[in-house]
Amino acid sequence: MSQTKHSMGPMAPSPHLRVSGIHKSFGGVHALKGVDFEVARGEVMALVGDNGAGKSTLMKVLAGAHIADEGEFFIDEKSVSVNSPHDASDLGIQIVYQDLALCENLDVAANLCLGAEPIKPGFTFLPRLLRPLDDLAMEVRAQEAIDRLQVKTLKSVRAKVGGLSGGQRQAIAIARAVGADGTVVMLDEPTAALGVAQTRQVLDVVKRLRDTDHAVVYISHNMRDIFEVADRICVLRHGANVATWTKDDVTPDEIVGAMTRGLDSEATNAA
Amino acid sequence: MQPKNKVSLIARLRSMRETRFGAFVPVLLALAAIWIYFGLAVPIWDYWGDPDAETLRFIFLSPRNIYNLFMQSAVIATLAVGITVVLLLGEIDLSAAATAGVCAALLGVLVLMDVPAPIACIIVMVLGIVIGAAQGILVAYVGIPSFVVTLAGLLGFQGVMQKILPTGNLNVGDPFVRGFARVLLPDAMGWALGILCVLFFAWTILSKQTQRKARGLELDNKVAVWGQIAFFGALVLATVATLNSYRSVPLLIVLLIAITAVVGWITTSTPYGRAIFSVGGNPESARRVGIDVKRIRVSAFAIVGLMAAIGGIFGASRFGSVSYTAFAGGSLLLESIGAAVIGGTSLFGGRGSVWNAILGALVIGSLGNGLDLSGAGAADKLMFSGAILLLAVAIDAISRSGTSER
């Protein structure tokens, strides 16, 4: 863990979300062995590692989908506990899974407001589920979310998601995760299935998230994307931290080396 | 030249399907085709083919026949509306007709035992809800595929119905029950209701348009807005006029429309309805945003149960009797599933509308009625129904293949 500190240098911004000493086992498999991780507002933190390094597990722990066996959570250096996805979203931690989970049969506005639809005032004699939707407020809200992320190619919030491109869908999934009060957004391989133009669109959205003072965790295998958007890069290997670098202090080759071999050479040098 | 045109036609069909009103078009076209065939083509063909014929006789399109057509389709439509709700979830209910049969049989027995008819109706509706919810619990919480659960229900409830009606037939003479199908609205009241409906429809659409303008949202196409209003108005008023020119608007049809309006409103304009569509479209998505998917499933099955019970009451009212063959043992189930599917509701969930189910029921009803009039046998009817069902699903598949595969 000392390596983390040393590689980060004095420039590291004060973290918004910080976890330390996270342990997580699944049966006999020790997936996370005391991982430290942090991300600040207005920063894109890339999380990289080989398959099975524990990226997804860490992300699910952060999102409350898995509960850590051990470890501490801090938001703005205040200790908090995350024991369910609900806790995480109350703290403003949102996750965009790789499969996006959008409803293709509904339009953009409906997808963005799903589960929290605005309803018309009055009608208090009805249970909330049966009160009339305020679909115009829904469109307004969706339009605001889309504008905030500057998804320029999207023509109408009334378009069905089924007819949109991969990049647009990713942007909508991100917009839904961010919502009105998300502060930490975690993206799992957001460009994995996208072409060049679509990737560009998603990266623009990610930058836009950083510019609007969100803390972004970006999981990817694509070094080019990472070096384009990330401010810092955190490398995991075998369920433990290898190091965290600021982007300018490191090259893609070093990252790949750290992912696959760890920092043996450096470790031996130090010893 | 030709293939290019064809592609643009399909593309246009697809884009049309995406609008709320455009989804009606295929089923309306099917209905128009059937009506033109039986209403105009067959009589003209007979007239030409038969030198002895004195005059053209448009039996199919006569007000009397259209009145009968509506009444014949009403029970199918009631069940189809309920089945549409589960189809939206991506589930299926094979037991709806058997449930309707059990409910109708129980209604008959209760009325025979001198239970006041309104109370008997309520008991039967509660029974429908319980049956539906029980099946829904088996599907959602136990995790048995709905096909299996409701297939078991189909078989089981057929048996239950036979147990309740050992003779297979029971006359229902109660004036309250018979009233649903017998009471006719006075002509003036029919007109008033029709005009009110049209005005209300126009008001909702126009006020939404002005609100859109006020909030700076994109506006609907003006032609489309007025086209919708004109089309809806023409449809409603023509129906009222036709029904009035034979007898008048029957209570049964008014009730059917009112129930469908309520179910339609719930499925399209409430958070609950949104939840149904999202579970049908992508259950994982619904789960992640905190929708209780299991409870939604159970409630949807409860709605089918309720609609089946209402269908049973309507059926008992219209036939004046409860018989095994009219409900559980007959073709009612497949006709009502067929009606929902012909209406354009996807079997894979997430797409469809209860209003289309009514039109689908009219398609099935018209087909049966038309074939009856032209003297076709039961065998022809079955084959034609199969062909129409296939055609409807094919149109559906072609018109939406663009969006589902990407």
Do residues A243 and A7 make contact, with C-beta atoms less than 8 angstroms apart? yes
Sort out which chain A residues have CB atoms less than 8 A from B351's CB and list them: 105
Q: What is the pLDDT of residue B84?
A: 94
Nearest CA in chain B to A130: B270
* Interface with A, mutate which of B20, B270, B292 (most A CBs under 10 A): B270
User: Across the interface, which of A97, A115, A129 has its CB nearest the CB of B270?
Assistant: A129
Residue A8 included in any domain? no
Q: Based on the number of CB atoms within 10 Å of its own CB, is A159 exposed (0-12), middle (13-18) or buried (19 or more)? A: middle
User: Across the interface, which of B269, B280, B350 has its CB nearest the CB of A133?
Assistant: B269
Sort out which chain B residues have CB atoms less than 8 A from A136's CB and list them: 208, 211-212, 215, 217
Q: What is the pLDDT of residue A9?
A: 46
Residue A111 included in any domain? yes
Q: Tell me the CATH number at A257.
A: 3.40.50.300
Residue B154 included in any domain? yes
Residue B362 included in any domain? yes
User: Across the interface, which of B217, B288, B290 has its CB nearest the CB of A136?
Assistant: B217
Residue B191 included in any domain? no
pTM here is: 0.84
Sort out which chain B residues have CB atoms less than 8 A from A134's CB and list them: none
User: Across the interface, which of A106, A119, A130 has its CB nearest the CB of B266?
Assistant: A130
Q: What is the pLDDT of residue B83?
A: 94
Nearest CA in chain A to B291: A115
What total number of domains does chain B contain?
Answer: 1
pLDDT in tens, chain A (271 residues): 444 444 444 456 788 888 888 898 888 888 888 889 889 988 999 998 888 888 888 888 888 888 888 888 888 888 888 888 778 888 888 888 888 888 888 888 888 888 788 888 878 888 888 888 888 888 888 888 888 777 777 878 888 888 888 888 888 888 888 876 788 888 888 888 788 888 888 888 888 888 888 899 999 888 888 888 899 999 888 888 888 888 888 888 888 888 887 776 554 444 3
Q: Tell me the CATH number at B356.
A: 1.10.3470
Nearest CA in chain B to A113: B289
The single-letter code of the amino acid at A203 is L
- pLDDT digit string, tens, across residues B266-293: 998 899 999 999 999 888 888 878 788 9
Residue A9 included in any domain? no
Q: Is B271 on the interface with A (CB under 8 A)?
A: yes
Q: How far is B210 from chain A (nearest CA, A)?
A: 11
Do residues A188 and A97 make contact, with C-beta atoms less than 8 angstroms apart? yes
Q: Give the range of the structural domain holding residue A63, as residue numbers without chain letter.
A: 17-269
What total number of domains does chain A contain?
Answer: 1
Closest CA to B84 of B382, B385, B317, B356: B356
Whole-number Å distance between alpha carbons of A227 and A247: 7
Residue B14 included in any domain? no
Structure tokens given for A100 = 């996006």
Q: What is the pLDDT of residue B179?
A: 86
The single-letter code of the amino acid at A169 is R
Residue B167 included in any domain? yes
Chain-chain contact of A129 with B280 (C-beta, under 8 angstroms): no
Residue A10 included in any domain? no
Residue B275 included in any domain? yes
Sort out which chain A residues have CB atoms less than 8 A from B284's CB and list them: 99, 101
Residue B11 included in any domain? no
Residue B228 included in any domain? no
Q: What is the pLDDT of residue B406?
A: 36
Q: Give the range of the structural domain holding residue B93, as residue numbers without chain letter.
A: 22-45+58-183+250-400
Residue A215 included in any domain? yes
User: What is the DSSP annotation of B295-350?
Assistant: HHHHHHHHHHHHHHHHHHHHHHHHHSEEETTTTTTSSHHHHHHHHHHHTT--TTSS
Residue A262 included in any domain? yes
**Portion 221-250 of A in contact with B at CB < 8 A:** none
Residue A57 included in any domain? yes
Q: Cα angle vertex A27, ends A26, A32, to 5°?
A: 35
Q: What is the pLDDT of residue A4?
A: 45
